Structure 1
């Protein structure tokens, strides 16, 4: 296991890639565009224009450059906070359930 300054089991990689998200909750499905900020073997952080509740599920397609297919991830929201930069965006911390 690699050592990390945050004492995590898996290192996070900064991604800053466009992401298409389908958020699923009690209100139904919502399509959102945002940014995947970082990614690890077990989780990811997303910047989105809408909030999500802890426990909501989502499907994300993380864009890539060139001819590489997007990474498709099913995840569960485990953390949500509003950005303090007046953008109105939220940062969602998500636990990966499966990757395609």
Structure 2
């Protein structure tokens, strides 16, 4: 599904794909499983089990199916919102810095 929003330069594509997120905090590397909800040329949104602060850089590896290589991107958190479904999960809006 493609979505359009007047505040965005690029359309977003809903993908709901498994992802692995890695980030560095206090000198430690931390990783966890996530879900990439949508993706555009400039950013992605992730459903994650922990809160990350605005400005935090991370690496997201979005798993592809059918032999297609995974997408690996370095991104920066631009907003974080806790879900109201009592799951304890957060939705992160991230700006893509680079793709590997």
**TM-score, length basis structure 1:** 0.91
Computed over aligned residues only, the root mean square deviation of the Cα atoms, in angstroms, reads 1.0
How many corresponding residue pairs?
96
> What residue number does 2:34 align with?
34
SS at match of 1:88: coil
> What residue number does 1:11 align with?
11
Question: How far 1:25 moved relative to its partner?
Answer: 3.1
Q: How does 1:1-100 map to 2 (within 5 A)?
A: 4=4, 6-7=5-6, 8-26=8-26, 28-100=28-100
SS at match of 1:36: strand
**TM-score, length basis structure 2:** 0.91
Is the 1:64–1:70 contact (alpha carbons within 8 Å) kept by the matching residues of 2?
A: yes
SS at match of 2:18: strand
**Structure 1 residue runs without a partner (length 5+):** none
Q: Deviations over 1:1-27 (max 9, x none)?
A: xxx3x2121000001000001022346
Q: Deviations over 1:61-97 (max 9, x none)?
A: 1001111110000000010010001110000000000
Rounded Cα–Cα distance in structure 1 between residues aligned with 2:93 and 2:27: 20
